[in-house]
Amino acid sequence: MSIRYVQSSRLPTKWGAFDMHGFEDISAEKEHVVLTLGDVSNGEPVLMRVHSECLTGDALFSLRCDCGAQLQAALAAIAKEGRGALLYLRQEGRGIGLLNKIKAYKLQDEGADTVEANEALGFGADMRDYSICKPILDHLHINSVRLMTNNPRKVAALEKIGVDVVERLSLETPSNPHNEHYLATKAGKLGHLME
């Protein structure tokens, strides 16, 4: 794996003006973005979200998942705190890619849950790789984090690569009739911690 820093710029949003940092994963031929607010390199634990790309939820406002709502809630929390980071990783569909995710959606339309759909397509339930986070965080001089996630596997994966997760903060958003089964599967089969 070879992560290369490319460039930074300002990104004004409805929550405030973030710094946007671009990184390239040369071996996987993927581009990743980090949004930061305030001084994240001062040694204090950083409020952080590691968010995997979800075109349908983040940009197309799908109600099938909670991704877009979690993304917005994380940015709002960082803005409220005045300091933090959001890693936006290009790992669509829990790492199976956009077109395979559409195939998985079709299987879900026919009754499969998200885990069953991925497995029916020959993938694991969650194919994401968080090892790319370490070189990105090292570049930004982020040593310890307060991680916004409901996923204990994400906490364990970051700790395994040497990220000091000093606190896990729940990031739950309201459910709707279209994502209740999805959320139940995340809790029941993937171990997500839901209130």
User: Tokens 């209130």 — which residue?
Assistant: 195
User: Which candidate in 19, 58, 128, 146 is catalytic?
Assistant: 128
User: Does the annotation flag 114 for ligand binding?
Assistant: yes
User: Does the annotation flag 94 for ligand binding?
Assistant: yes
User: Does the annotation flag 195 for ligand binding?
Assistant: no
Query: CB under 8 Å, gap of 24 or more: what pairs does 90-93 form?
Result: 90/30, 90/31, 90/32, 90/53, 91/52, 91/53, 91/127, 91/128, 91/129, 92/52, 92/53, 92/54, 92/55, 93/54, 93/118
User: Does the annotation flag 92 for ligand binding?
Assistant: yes
User: Does the annotation flag 93 for ligand binding?
Assistant: yes
User: Which candidate in 126, 138, 146, 164 is catalytic?
Assistant: 126
User: Does the annotation flag 167 for ligand binding?
Assistant: no
User: Does the annotation flag 160 for ligand binding?
Assistant: no
> Is 164 considered catalytic here?
no
Contacts of 21 (CB under 8 A, 6+ apart): 5, 7, 8, 33, 34, 35, 36, 139, 140
> Is 153 considered catalytic here?
no
User: Does the annotation flag 13 for ligand binding?
Assistant: no
Residues flagged as binding site for Zn(2+): 54, 65, 67
Residues flagged as binding site for GTP: 49-53, 70, 92-94, 114, 149, 154
The residues annotated with a catalytic role in the active site are: 126, 128
Residues flagged as binding site: 49-54, 65, 67, 70, 92-94, 114, 149, 154
